[in-house]
Chains A and B, each alone.
Chain A
Amino acid sequence: QSALTQPASVSGSPGQSITISCTGTSSDVGGYNYVSWYQQHPGKAPKLMIYEVSNRPSGVSNRFSGSKSGNTASLTISGLQAEDEADYYCSSYTSSSTLEYVFGTGTKVTVL
């Protein structure tokens, strides 16, 4: 199973909006509404930001939103803040028979 494709880096100024893409295939992203997004600060464990394409867990800011079109999912961060600077990973369910997952390559978000 190949990793999902994300841009290596995305940057934006405080207050701006940025979007991170996550491209897979019809066997993963395009085949299921089970895309998740994780935020990871250096030296810390990943934190779930979005699940099932567009749902936010309790406690996650509504500045984070998710969507999907075809084989590409997207995470949008609006009103960019300094604390949003981190690595972001998408993940998708890949098999309904064996319950497997695959992660994206990761995107470094820099707040200018």
Chain B
Amino acid sequence: QVQLVQSGAEVKKPGASVKVSCKASGYTFTGYYMHWVRQAPGQGLEWMGWINPNSGGTNYAQKFQGRVTMTRDTSISTAYMELSRLRSDDTAVYYCAKILIAAAGTGFDPWGQGTLVTVSS
């Protein structure tokens, strides 16, 4: 079955960077865009951007441009999201999510289990 497995929880200091991984299985990794979404404690979902695993092309939400980098390693079907210059308000659960259908605009399914990133001095 289609599955996304993310790396474990991280604790970082303000100003540091964090890199979260998302290993895909059960489908052709290069055939579907991968999206990243975050959720601060007690808050709603926030879309961060996507990566095209086939070409490596990316698009980031304006809020994160300059601080986020999404990459992939097709040899191990893994996508990565790196966020730099961390602040306390970056404390959140970060999710990867596969586009359901290989077509623009459709929904995200499935989602990874989430990775808690805590930013604290």
* Complex contacts, B109 vs chain A, CB 8 Å: 47-48, 51, 57
A101 touches B104 (CB 8 A): no
Interface residue range, chain B:
20 to 34
Residue of B44, B95, B108, B111 near A106 (CB, 8 A) is: B44
Cβ contacts B89-121/A at 8 Å (1 or 0 each): 000000101001100111111111110000000
Interface residue range, chain A:
20 to 34
B44 touches A104 (CB 8 A): yes
* Complex contacts, A106 vs chain B, CB 8 Å: 44-45
B105 touches A34 (CB 8 A): yes
Please, which residue of chain B has its CB at the minimum distance from the CB of A35? B107
Please, which residue of chain B has its CB at the minimum distance from the CB of A57? B109
Is B73 interfacial (CB-CB < 8 Å)? Answer: no
Closest 4 CB pairs of A and B: A51-B107, A34-B105, A36-B107, A93-B105
Having A48-B100, A51-B106, A99-B105, one finds 14 other A-B pairs with CB under 8 Å, namely: A3-B44, A36-B106, A38-B45, A45-B114, A46-B45, A46-B97, A51-B100, A51-B101, A52-B107, A57-B100, A89-B44, A91-B107, A103-B44, A103-B45
CB within 8 Å of B: which residues of A?
A: 1, 3, 32, 34, 36, 38, 45-48, 50-52, 57, 89, 91, 93, 96, 98-106
